[in-house]
Amino acid sequence: MEEAELCFPQLINSSCKRPTSPHFEAALINVLLFFISVLTAALNLLLIIAISHYRQLHSPTNLLLLSLAVSDFLVGFLVMPVEILMMGSCWVLGDLVCALYFFLPVILISASVGNMVLISVDRYVAICDPLHYSTRITHKIVTISVSLCWTCSVFYSVFLLYDNLQQPGRYNSCYGECMVNINGKVDLFVAFISPITVIIVLYTRVFVVAVSQARAMRSHIAATSVDLSVSRLMKKSELKAARTLGVVVVVFLICYSPYYCLCLTGRDILIGSSTEAFMSFVMYFNSCLNPVIYALFYPWFRKAVKHIVTFQILQPGSCETNIL
């Protein structure tokens, strides 16, 4: 009976015990996490198909949304399912594969955060410098920026996990465990403090400019004695801008703060522990919310989804459909 509880019964003195939990509780958690994983992959896949297929959506801004959707889709399609399997089973693929596996989530999370920063820059230029937007934000510049974002994410993951590749399994306490160690202070600054600072500063500037423009238009309307219903519409646009920009920043903070709060204690993060797994899923949930925040606010996305699910997208010449 005791050997049956071990991951490797032949290694009685060094094998980990199999993870155990109440069957109903474990099944409920797995079903919930699996649903989140499927929803994340599905929503981002719809966004990828829509932007890739319809020519009207081939804009620099949507190219950034496409890059974000690709990273978030891979989180839902690859990272989350593996994390679910790892929570209730032993690791049997060896220490080297364990170290190599964690490159994937680090790359994808870094790329997702980087894409969010690029989107905030795009919106900053669009609102604060609209006259020069078409010359500063071009397809070529966006393509180069996205390529650099993914390249930097790869190099960052190598830097963060290099120590684990030199001695795979050094942080495992027993056989059947898969844990790696990262420098929490470096990751806190590079992947959280720096990007969230940039996003907050840029979105604050965007919000201030948007509100000032709306107030200027309202003052002009009042001075020319135009129907006051238009003025009320301007007031609603202010509130909508505040709500949308607030959701972007608040959701990012809510999803990422639990993971990085541990870094504030000054300790390194053991990736693979049960505490880290829970905080990681909260952070991965941001990949599910990204398409809602960045795409569902756009009417063209709802129209594109309707075309996709009703298979109108398969009709000849559908890529030329007026989707905007």
Q: How far apart are CA 289 and CA 91, in angstroms?
A: 30
- The whole-model pTM stands at 0.83
Q: Give the up-direction half-sphere exposure of residue 223: CA atoms within 13 A in the CB hemisphere.
A: 6
Query: Which is more confident, 82 or 86?
Result: 82
Q: Is the dihedral of CA 83, 89, 91, 97 positive or negative?
A: negative
Backbone φ and ψ for 182, nearest 5 degrees, come out as: -125, 160
3 state SS for 78-106: HHHHHHHHHHCCCCCCCHHHHHHHCHHHH
Q: Which fold has domain 60-77+90-286?
A: Rhopdopsin 7-helix transmembrane proteins (1.20.1070)
Please report, for the chain, the start and end positions of each structural domain, with discontinuous segments joined by +: 60-77+90-286
| DSSP labels, 199-265 | HHHHHHHHHHHHHHHHHHHHHHHHHTT--HHHHHHHHHHHHHHHHHHHHHHHHHHHHHHHHHHTGGG
More confident residue, 154 or 99: 154
Which tops the pLDDT comparison, 243 or 38? Answer: 38
* pLDDT (tens digit per residue) in 170-228: 777 777 777 777 776 788 888 888 888 888 888 888 878 777 766 776 666 555 544 44
Choose the weakest-confidence range: 61-65, 104-108, 179-183, 251-255: 179-183
The residue that leads in pLDDT, 149 or 207, is 149
